Amino acid sequence: MFINLQNDIGMVKQVKVGFSWTALFFGVFVPILRGDWKWALIMVFLAIITFGISWIVFPFVYNKIYINNLLEKGYLPADDNSRSILVTKGFISAQ
Protein backbone atom coordinates (compact mmCIF):
# COMPACT_ATOMS: atom_id res chain seq x y z
CA MET A 1 0.00 0.00 0.00
CA PHE A 2 1.31 3.43 -0.95
CA ILE A 3 0.82 6.85 0.61
CA ASN A 4 1.44 10.33 -0.73
CA LEU A 5 3.35 12.81 1.42
CA GLN A 6 3.55 16.48 0.51
CA ASN A 7 5.83 19.21 1.87
CA ASP A 8 5.04 22.91 2.28
CA ILE A 9 6.20 23.86 -1.24
CA GLY A 10 3.99 21.22 -2.87
CA MET A 11 6.53 18.48 -3.59
CA VAL A 12 4.81 15.08 -3.35
CA LYS A 13 6.58 11.80 -2.57
CA GLN A 14 4.88 8.45 -2.95
CA VAL A 15 6.09 6.02 -0.29
CA LYS A 16 5.29 2.37 0.30
CA VAL A 17 4.11 1.36 3.75
CA GLY A 18 5.25 -2.02 5.03
CA PHE A 19 7.87 -4.51 3.88
CA SER A 20 10.48 -3.13 1.46
CA TRP A 21 11.13 -5.60 -1.33
CA THR A 22 13.51 -3.12 -2.92
CA ALA A 23 15.63 -3.02 0.24
CA LEU A 24 15.67 -6.82 0.28
CA PHE A 25 16.95 -7.10 -3.30
CA PHE A 26 18.99 -3.90 -3.68
CA GLY A 27 20.13 -3.16 -0.12
CA VAL A 28 22.01 0.09 0.34
CA PHE A 29 21.10 1.36 -3.13
CA VAL A 30 17.53 2.09 -1.95
CA PRO A 31 18.45 4.86 0.52
CA ILE A 32 21.08 6.17 -1.90
CA LEU A 33 18.52 6.54 -4.69
CA ARG A 34 16.08 8.20 -2.28
CA GLY A 35 18.76 10.65 -1.15
CA ASP A 36 18.75 9.26 2.37
CA TRP A 37 22.53 9.33 2.87
CA LYS A 38 22.41 9.01 6.65
CA TRP A 39 20.63 5.65 6.51
CA ALA A 40 22.76 4.46 3.60
CA LEU A 41 25.85 4.91 5.76
CA ILE A 42 24.16 3.30 8.75
CA MET A 43 23.13 0.29 6.64
CA VAL A 44 26.70 -0.19 5.34
CA PHE A 45 28.18 0.21 8.82
CA LEU A 46 25.75 -2.30 10.36
CA ALA A 47 26.30 -4.75 7.50
CA ILE A 48 30.03 -4.70 8.20
CA ILE A 49 29.57 -5.15 11.95
CA THR A 50 26.96 -7.92 11.65
CA PHE A 51 28.63 -9.69 8.71
CA GLY A 52 25.62 -8.98 6.49
CA ILE A 53 22.86 -10.18 8.80
CA SER A 54 21.43 -6.67 9.00
CA TRP A 55 20.52 -6.92 5.28
CA ILE A 56 17.81 -9.38 6.35
CA VAL A 57 16.42 -7.04 9.02
CA PHE A 58 16.33 -3.74 7.12
CA PRO A 59 13.60 -4.67 4.60
CA PHE A 60 11.20 -5.02 7.53
CA VAL A 61 11.95 -1.58 9.01
CA TYR A 62 13.37 0.71 6.32
CA ASN A 63 10.09 2.05 4.91
CA LYS A 64 8.93 2.93 8.43
CA ILE A 65 12.22 4.72 9.10
CA TYR A 66 11.94 6.61 5.80
CA ILE A 67 8.33 7.69 6.45
CA ASN A 68 9.22 8.89 9.96
CA ASN A 69 12.15 10.90 8.56
CA LEU A 70 9.89 12.55 5.97
CA LEU A 71 7.30 13.40 8.63
CA GLU A 72 10.03 14.94 10.79
CA LYS A 73 11.15 17.05 7.80
CA GLY A 74 7.66 18.55 7.56
CA TYR A 75 5.93 16.31 5.03
CA LEU A 76 2.22 15.83 5.60
CA PRO A 77 -0.33 13.42 4.11
CA ALA A 78 -1.37 14.71 0.68
CA ASP A 79 -4.85 13.14 0.75
CA ASP A 80 -7.40 11.63 3.11
CA ASN A 81 -6.50 8.05 2.18
CA SER A 82 -2.83 8.65 3.05
CA ARG A 83 -3.85 10.28 6.33
CA SER A 84 -6.07 7.35 7.32
CA ILE A 85 -3.30 4.84 6.53
CA LEU A 86 -0.79 6.82 8.61
CA VAL A 87 -3.26 6.98 11.51
CA THR A 88 -4.04 3.26 11.26
CA LYS A 89 -0.33 2.32 11.20
CA GLY A 90 0.44 4.63 14.14
CA PHE A 91 2.66 7.16 12.36
CA ILE A 92 0.45 10.14 13.26
CA SER A 93 -2.39 10.72 15.70
CA ALA A 94 -6.00 11.17 14.63
CA GLN A 95 -6.92 14.83 14.85
pLDDT per position as a tens digit, 36-94: 999 999 999 999 999 999 999 999 999 999 999 999 999 999 999 999 999 999 898 87
Distances from the Cα of 38 to the Cαs of 9, 10, 16, 85, in angstroms? 23, 24, 19, 26
Which domain range does residue 56 map to? 23-89
pLDDT at 54: 93
Asked if residue 95 has pLDDT above 70, the reply is no
Distant-in-sequence, close-in-space partners of 85: CB < 8 Å, separation ≥ 6: 1, 3, 17
Residue 75 lies in a domain: yes
* Structural domain includes residue 18: no
Enter the pTM of the model: 0.89
Inter-axis angle of helices 37-49 and 54-72, nearest 10 = 160
Q: What is the pLDDT of residue 90?
A: 87
Domain membership flag for residue 9: no
3, part of any domain: no
Asked if residue 7 belongs to a domain, the reply is: no
What strand order describes the sheet that includes 76-77?
A: 12-16, 2-6, 76-77
Reported as a single tens digit per residue, the pLDDT across 5-38 is 999 998 999 999 999 999 999 999 999 999 999 9
Tally the domains of the chain: 1
CB atoms within 10 A of CB 44: 15
- What's the pLDDT at 93? 83
- Residue 15 placed within a domain: no
